Amino acid sequence: MKTTALLLALGLGWSGAVMAQTSATDWPTRPIRWVVPFPPGGAMDAIARALGEKAGKSVGQSFVIENKPGAGGNIGADFVAKAPADGHTIMITSIGMATNKPLYGKLSYDPIKDFAPVSLLAVVPNVLVTNNTQPNVKNVADLVAAARKAPGQLTYASAGNGTSIHLAGELFASLTKTDLVHVPYKGSSPAVSDLLGGQVNYMFDSVTSARPHLQSGKLRALGVTTAKRSSALPDVPTLAEAGVTGYELSPWFAVFAPAGTPKATIGKLQAALTDAMKQPDVVKRFEAIGAEAIGSTPDELAVHLQRESTRWSKLIAERGIQLD
């Protein structure tokens, strides 16, 4: 009996190992659910849809985009963290993966332990813009001088507490030692509307949203937040170039799968997405929304997430940033 039980256990173990190996080797066996933890229409959604179409052709199964918005991306992230680790459910996410834990305190998932990194995808720069209520502010130096002359009087809008747009303003105030008043909105659209109407003075908006208003002359660009100039706004200096030493905020987008997803599957996902970013129509789509393609290995994304988590946790604590 003991011998039979041992052989049976060994057989089951061997069978399970073979099934796991076969599953990873044969992936994908059905359409891939690609969760977007924000509503349709934004840069994140556009990037997922552009890449999903091409990557699906590469792996032989379609990528089905499923929007699961809410709680700053936490609803979608929780769903993916608890999904089967077989490569058939993945998530595109953003800088919120590094900031939500210090902002929300308690999460139903661990941003690092509960996910398997796949690849960085792109950066969509934010740009510091102002309206016609500030005619004498021609550059960043003028803004810093005006803010120091009238502390607590100049305002900047954001798409909400804890967003990359808000963090961009907090980082700016910290490095320039200025006192700017943050005015949070429920989304970028109403914030931009009030900026255009003169109810607020400044905003660190995404290039995607700001570019039409810059082209029409309704807004003026003072600097982009990324380490390098944006290809969408090549004549606009970075904030570091404009005199804010050490300034860099790159609103990034990346793909994660549930922790435990086989490495072979992760490798196939990464290769399909990287190849998709090179396709001419995807390149054009990225250019249209101001996205800068990156691409990375899973290990590089893991290092990036850890570094970003440490960096933004420190700023959030130092500035006392809260969601309410």
HEC profile for the chain? CHHHHHHHHHHHHHHHHHHHHHHHHHCCCCCEEEEECCCCCCHHHHHHHHHHHHHHHHHCCCEEEEECCCHHHHHHHHHHHCCCCCCCEEEEEECHHHHHHHHHCCCCCCCCCCEEEEEEEEECCEEEEECCCCCCCCCHHHHHHHHHHCCCCCEEEECCCCCHHHHHHHHHHHHHCCCCEEEECCCHHHHHHHHHHCCCCEEEEEHHHHHHHHHHCCCEEEEECCCCCCCCCCCCCECCCCCCCCCCCCCEEEEEEECCCCHHHHHHHHHHHHHHCCCHHHHHHHHHHCCEECCCCHHHHHHHHHHHHHHHHHHHHHHCCCCC
Name the pTM for this structure.
Answer: 0.87
pLDDT at res. 24: 60
Handedness of CA 151, 153, 157, 158 (dihedral sign): positive
pLDDT at res. 165: 92
Q: Could you tell me the end-to-end alpha-carbon distance of the chain, in angstroms, rounded to an integer?
A: 64
Kindly list the structural domains of the chain, giving each domain's residue range(s) and its CATH number in brackets, ordered by start. Answer: 32-124+251-319 (3.40.190.150), 128-242 (3.40.190.10)
Low-confidence stretches of the chain (pLDDT < 70) are 1-24, 324
Handedness of CA 200, 243, 141, 122 (dihedral sign): negative
Whole-angstrom Cα Rg for the chain: 22
Q: Which of 132, 177, 186 is nearest to 159 (CA)?
A: 186
Asked if the bond preceding 28 is cis, omega within 30° of 0, the reply is: yes
What percent of the chain shows pLDDT beyond 70? Answer: 92
pLDDT at res. 101: 93
Task: Report the alpha-carbon distance of residue 173 to residue 181 in Å, rounded.
Answer: 10
Instruction: Specify the length of the chain in residues.
Output: 324
How far CA 313 is from CA of 164, 184, 320, in Å, comes to 13, 20, 10
pLDDT at res. 1: 45
- Residue pair 116/267 in contact by the 8 Å Cβ criterion: no
- Residue pair 63/272 in contact by the 8 Å Cβ criterion: no
pLDDT at res. 324: 67
pLDDT at res. 189: 87
Cα torsion through 277, 282, 287, 291, rounded to 10: -40
Q: How many Cβ atoms from other residues are within 10 Å of residue 275's Cβ? A: 16
